[in-house]
């Protein structure tokens, strides 16, 4: 973890595993030196399974976000994962075995309004690791992209609080109104009704690692499936864009009802394209 000052809860939860099967080390995925130092602490120096989980979010009207903030998202979400893969891949190839697990997002499959930069970083992960997976099979190395939907965490709550009062300089009044009056209430409703726990995501990762034939992709939130199905029904993306636009800006009551149904299971049945 980047800040070892926050390791207390993790070490307490580890119990007897601490120092036996679990070691907490400092790691900043944005630093070559930090990655090298962390990997040097591994006994034997061999990494069998790498789980890329580091990530940061960025929400808001694009006109009010700085390029520096956008680059920080890519430095962590995309280049941080690439940096770690470059560090462990030579050893995995030499041993001809390994498993790389990447915590992506359903936003790596479909864009979400006012999350353009975050979604772009996840799209980049999906393209990079799908491409890499083809080559790595020749070395008996597997790649798995775990794609959570909304995950209810303190991090997400704090992010929503911050952006609800942010100024976003340079943004026109209409866009700010759409963001605050349409997007933010819908986002809170989404997390309240469809959000899953971090433990659900962890269990999905464990299942992927333990699989005899690891999948390339694994979505973790069945309640979110009807939303991703829109793009499967119409691969051009037009149906998804038009539907989400109408729900968010023209039919907010229908959106509210739909999210409540997803939460209670009314729409949980998986939708398949014809």
Residues marked active site are found at 118
Integer-rounded Cα Rg, in Å, for the chain is 20
Instruction: Name the nearest CA neighbour of 79 among 123, 40, 29.
Output: 29
Q: Within its chain, how far is the Cα of 157 from the centroid? A: 16
In DSSP terms, which residues pair with 145 in a beta bridge?
102, 217
Q: What angle do CA 258, 262, 266 make, to 5 degrees?
A: 95
DSSP 20-84: TTB------TT-HHHHHHHHHTSGGG--SEEEE-------S-GGGS-HHHHHHHHHHHTHHHHHH
Q: Would you state the torsion angle of the CA atoms of residues 179, 113, 229, 74, taken in this order, to the nearest 10 degrees?
A: -140
Write down the H helix ranges in 166-273: 173-178, 184-194, 198-209, 225-233, 238-249, 252-264
């Amino acid at each position: 973890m980047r800040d070892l000052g926050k390791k207390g809860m993790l070490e307490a939860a580890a119990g007897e595993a601490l120092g036996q099967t679990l070691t907490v080390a400092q790691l900043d995925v944005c630093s070559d030196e930090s990655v090298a130092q962390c990997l040097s602490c591994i006994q034997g120096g061999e990494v069998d399974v790498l789980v890329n989980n580091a990530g940061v979010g960025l929400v808001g009207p694009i006109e009010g976000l700085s390029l520096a903030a956008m680059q920080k998202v890519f430095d962590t979400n995309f280049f941080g994962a690439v940096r770690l893969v470059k560090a462990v891949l030579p050893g995995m190839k030499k041993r001809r075995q390994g498993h790389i697990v990447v915590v992506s997002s359903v936003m790596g499959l479909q864009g979400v309004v006012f999350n353009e930069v975050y979604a772009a970083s996840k799209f980049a992960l999906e393209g990079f690791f799908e491409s890499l997976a083809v080559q790595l099979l020749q070395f008996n190395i597997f790649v798995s992209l775990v794609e959570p939907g909304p995950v209810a965490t303190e991090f997400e709550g704090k992010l929503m609080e911050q952006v609800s009062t942010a100024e976003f300089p340079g943004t026109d009044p209409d866009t700010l109104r759409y963001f605050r009056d349409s997007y933010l209430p819908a986002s809170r409703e989404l997390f309240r009704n469809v959000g899953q726990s971090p433990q659900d995501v962890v269990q999905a990762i464990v299942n992927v690692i333990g699989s005899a034939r690891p999948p390339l992709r694994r979505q973790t939130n069945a309640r979110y499936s009807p939303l991703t199905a829109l793009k499967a029904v119409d691969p051009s993306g037009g149906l998804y864009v038009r539907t989400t636009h109408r729900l968010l800006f023209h039919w907010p009551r229908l959106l509210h009802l739909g999210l409540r149904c997803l939460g209670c299971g009314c729409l949980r049945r998986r939708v398949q394209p014809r």
